């Protein structure tokens, strides 16, 4: 039910036993990761080709474009295959980056290259031992297209799968830019329904893999605009109602569980902000601010700094309102019970990039929730989600009132999410 977006560091896969699934992102890994290393032994392993990033501007996102160019489905000219007998990985990566500097297309492959791109992406996933095949597809950026380009890629991908006689369930990538979302897009027979029709009309698909790209830059996932959240809900429900057995939602972060109330079967997110939401601006070659750890409480859908915020909650006897235990946060909870603070624990102190413990706790908590959802019926999930959102909204309101109306931590707009679900 919960899938980890695997970034550069893979330690969480080994350290969080509750994790049962992973999504490897093309933008975060060189292609040799899938040809020279074994896939992890998990119930679900997927590789997202991320062809929807083909439109990145190399002048502002050189590092990411250089990494994407190592994957043959981007069809970047002059990129040689890696040969360990001729060069090292580092030297090969440098040669690929140089080729990308000269030849990065800045758009998805076209014409006869579409079939070649699909074949390369599918062969990679089969060779890596993926449990599911995610068909590559470009980002949908124009409502007027009405899924015509998507249909072309679906047909090419399904043809390759049939020819290869691949046995894994096949998922269609539905990657949509938020610039296509307006009120008319949600209407009956509107833009989103056109995408659903294009996918549903094709045989051989077991499900969909839904991604919505956001144009805003370094925003926290809790601040995602309503149109994007509505897009995730609309597509999740429409595809599930249309008979898709697998509806995978990525980059909706914790809101993915709200999508599960209407039809999503799997939710993918990651430990860091750039793995929790998808923003094209997030791939720019800029240096972001210093990250500090946060304690995540699923009960109130909030994040709290371990020292500043939690110390305020402790001093006002509100800590019990947010306690949410996992094996990776039990030491912190025990310390608080013994009149200590996070500052007494090196792994939870508010140090620069001291994120390991907090990230493992966050991912473990979502994994536990995913395991819980996996056992529920669709109606059962909706009931659980409604109760969760109502209690989270009430819980955070109570905390704010006890603190004299001042804000603390960072919270998701639970009441607003509930309103969107009702809509």
Residues 259, 375 within the same domain: no
Alpha carbon distance 108, 175 (integer Å): 13
Residues 101, 233 within the same domain: yes
Domain that holds residue 12: 2-283
Residues 191, 301 within the same domain: no
Mean pLDDT of all residues in 181-201 = 93
CA-to-CA dists, residue 294 to 62, 82, 117, 128, 387, angstroms:
30, 40, 40, 34, 25
CA dihedral 63→213→43→266, nearest 10 degrees, is 170
Sheet holding 133-135, edge to edge: 44-48, 21-25, 2-6, 266-269, 246-250, 207-213, 170-177, 133-135
Residues 278, 300 within the same domain: no
Domain tally, the chain: 2
Mean pLDDT of all residues in 369-393 = 95
> In the chain, what percentage of residues exceed pLDDT 70?
99
Angle of the 191-200 helix axis to the 226-241 helix axis, nearest 10: 30
Residues 171, 212 within the same domain: yes
pLDDT tens-digit series, residues 37-95: 888 889 999 999 999 999 999 989 889 998 999 999 999 987 878 777 777 888 888 87
Of 229, 259, 283, the domain-final residue: 283
pLDDT for 114 equals: 97
CA-to-CA dists, residue 134 to 24, 114, 197, 206, 411, angstroms:
11, 15, 18, 10, 33
Question: Is 332 in contact with 314 (CB distance < 8 Å)?
Answer: no
pLDDT of residue 128 exceeding 80, the answer is yes
Question: Is 153 contained in some domain?
Answer: yes
Alpha carbon distance 343, 348 (integer Å): 7
Range scoring the smallest mean pLDDT among 82-96, 117-131, 299-313, 359-373: 82-96
pLDDT for 287 equals: 64
Question: Is 63 contained in some domain?
Answer: yes
pLDDT tens-digit series, residues 291-327: 889 999 999 999 999 999 999 999 999 999 999 999 9
Alpha carbon distance 187, 199 (integer Å): 18
Residues 259, 389 within the same domain: no
Residues 197, 242 within the same domain: yes
Residues 236, 374 within the same domain: no
Question: Is 189 contained in some domain?
Answer: yes
pTM to 2 decimal places = 0.95
Residues 228, 322 within the same domain: no
Residues 101, 170 within the same domain: yes
Question: Is 226 contained in some domain?
Answer: yes
pLDDT tens-digit series, residues 339-349: 988 888 999 99
Which residues, other chains included, contact 405 with Cβ-Cβ below 8 Å and sequence gap of 6+? none
Predicted confidence band of residue 10 (pLDDT cuts 50, 70, 90): confident
CA dihedral 58→53→192→181, nearest 10 degrees, is -40
- Give, as one character, the DSSP assignment of residue 40: P
- Give, as one character, the DSSP assignment of residue 389: H
Question: Is 290 contained in some domain?
Answer: no
Question: Is 72 in contact with 46 (CB distance < 8 Å)?
Answer: no
pLDDT for 100 equals: 81
Query: What integer best gives the mean pLDDT of the chain?
Result: 92
Indicate the burial class of 75 (C-beta count within 10 angstroms; 0-12, 13-18, 19 or more).
buried
Of 260, 283, 306, the domain-final residue: 283
Residue appearing with tokens 């297309």: 105
pLDDT for 92 equals: 80
Indicate the burial class of 249 (C-beta count within 10 angstroms; 0-12, 13-18, 19 or more).
buried
pLDDT for 89 equals: 84
Residues 188, 98 within the same domain: yes
pLDDT for 124 equals: 95
pLDDT tens-digit series, residues 213-250: 998 876 899 999 999 999 999 999 999 999 999 999 99
CATH at 17: 3.20.20
pLDDT for 144 equals: 84
Indicate the burial class of 206 (C-beta count within 10 angstroms; 0-12, 13-18, 19 or more).
middle
Of 237, 257, 283, the domain-final residue: 283
Angle of the 191-200 helix axis to the 148-164 helix axis, nearest 10: 20
Question: Is 214 in contact with 277 (CB distance < 8 Å)?
Answer: yes
Question: Is 94 contained in some domain?
Answer: yes
Question: Is 288 contained in some domain?
Answer: no
Alpha carbon distance 140, 213 (integer Å): 10
Mean pLDDT of all residues in 171-180 = 96
Mean pLDDT of all residues in 133-162 = 93
Predicted confidence band of residue 36 (pLDDT cuts 50, 70, 90): confident
Question: Is 196 in contact with 233 (CB distance < 8 Å)?
Answer: no
Predicted confidence band of residue 289 (pLDDT cuts 50, 70, 90): low
Q: Please, what sign has the CA dihedral across residues 316, 317, 319, 321?
A: negative
pLDDT for 288 equals: 64
Question: Is 289 contained in some domain?
Answer: no
Residue appearing with tokens 């000219």: 77
Q: Cβ of 398: how many Cβ atoms within 10 Å?
A: 13
Residues 334, 267 within the same domain: no
Indicate the burial class of 103 (C-beta count within 10 angstroms; 0-12, 13-18, 19 or more).
middle
């Amino acid at each position: 039910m919960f899938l980890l977006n695997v970034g550069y560091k893979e330690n969480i896969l080994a350290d969080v036993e509750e994790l049962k699934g992973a999504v490897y992102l093309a933008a975060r890994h060189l292609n040799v990761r899938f040809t020279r290393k074994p896939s992890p032994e998990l119930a679900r392993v997927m590789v997202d080709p991320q062809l929807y990033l083909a439109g990145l501007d190399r002048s502002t996102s050189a590092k990411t474009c250089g990494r994407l160019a190592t994957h043959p489905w981007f069809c970047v000219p002059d990129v040689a295959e890696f040969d360990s007998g001729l060069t090292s990985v580092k030297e090969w990566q440098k040669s690929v980056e140089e080729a990308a500097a000269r030849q990065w297309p800045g758009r998805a492959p076209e014409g006869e290259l579409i079939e070649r791109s699909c074949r390369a992406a599918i062969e990679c996933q089969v060779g890596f031992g993926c449990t599911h095949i995610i068909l590559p597809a470009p980002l949908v950026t124009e409502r007027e297209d009405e899924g015509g380009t998507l249909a072309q890629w679906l047909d090419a991908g399904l043809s390759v799968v049939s020819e290869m006689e691949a046995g894994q369930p096949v998922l269609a990538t539905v990657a949509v830019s938020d610039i296509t979302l307006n009120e008319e897009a949600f209407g009956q027979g509107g833009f989103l329904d056109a995408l659903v029709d294009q996918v549903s009309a094709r045989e051989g698909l077991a499900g969909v893999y839904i991604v919505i790209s956001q144009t805003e830059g370094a925003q926290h996932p809790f601040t995602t605009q309503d149109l994007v959240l509505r897009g995730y809900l609309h597509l999740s429900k429409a595809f599930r109602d249309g008979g898709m057995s697998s509806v995978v939602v990525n980059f909706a972060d914790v809101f993915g569980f709200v999508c599960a109330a209407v039809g999503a079967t799997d939710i993918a997110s990651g430990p860091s902000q750039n793995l929790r939401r998808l923003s094209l601006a997030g791939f720019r070659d800029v240096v972001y601010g210093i990250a500090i750890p946060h304690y995540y409480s699923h009960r109130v859908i909030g994040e709290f700094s371990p020292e500043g915020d939690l110390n305020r909650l402790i001093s006002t006897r509100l800590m019990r309102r947010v306690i949410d235990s996992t094996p990776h946060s039990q030491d912190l909870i025990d310390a608080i019970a013994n009149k200590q603070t996070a500052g007494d624990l090196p792994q939870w102190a508010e140090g620069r990039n001291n994120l390991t413990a907090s990230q493992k706790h966050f991912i473990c908590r979502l994994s536990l929730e995913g395991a819980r959802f996996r056992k529920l019926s669709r109606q059962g999930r909706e009931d659980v989600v409604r109760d969760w959102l109502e209690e989270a909204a009430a819980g955070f309101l109570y905390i704010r009132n006890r603190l004299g109306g001042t804000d603390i931590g960072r919270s998701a707009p639970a009441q607003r999410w509930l309103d969107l679900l009702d809509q």
